[in-house]
Amino acid sequence: MAGPAEFESWLCSRLDALQVDRDVYGTYIRSLLEEEESEAERLEVLRATLSAVLEDDTLEEVCQQILKQWTDCCSRSAAAGSHPEDEVQAIASLIEKQAQIVVRQKEVTEEDKKRKEALLAQYANVTDEEDEGDEAEELGAVAIPSDKSLFKNTNVEDVLNRRRQQREQAKEDAHKKKEQDKMQREKDKLTKQERKEKEKKRTQKGERKR
């Protein structure tokens, strides 16, 4: 989606200019903007988030800039229009491929049955003098494996399993990063508070000296 991607690029550049860690705050800010529904709510969460790293005299201006950029990018993306038909076509193509696989499996199964029947008919003519155990053993040796063992197509299943594992890993990684970023934001807030306290003490000392 061009809108959010464009916004993310702009946001990273803006955070760099403000000397704010883009890895900690960039993704978090975007997730907040996506979750909140109204501009007032978005502005409120922006203030709460960036107050840990920005001074009060620049906080409001930066929050307004971010909100405006987000709104503009989303508007341009909506105007460009999405193409849901592409997604529908992709799903239809996948269904068609799966259907072809099923048809091929059925065709092979019918052929396999005929070959087995021919083999059984051939061995039905064996004389009664032949040992029945040997006959069964011989049939087992030449019989064609069933479609479950030989013709089962596991490609689709393998792909789905890999995608499921990738999604689970991505969720786990995102959760870890979220926790790390949260800790960093708390650390930034404490650092800013300590800086204010030191500045306050210096000011008080200066006033006492006068």
Structure tokens at 97: 């491929």
State the pTM of this model: 0.46
Structure tokens at 1: 């989606």
Give the model confidence (pLDDT) of 87-125 as tens digits: 556 677 777 777 776 556 556 577 777 777 776 666 555
| Amino acid letter, residue 166 | Q
Give the model confidence (pLDDT) of 161-173 as tens digits: 787 788 888 777 7
* Domain parsing of the chain, residue ranges: 2-80, 84-153, 162-210
CA distances 174 to 46, 107, 161, Å, are 21, 46, 20
Rounded CA-CA distance 141/135 in Å is 10
Contacts of 54-57 spanning 24+ positions with Cβ under 8 A? 54/18, 54/20
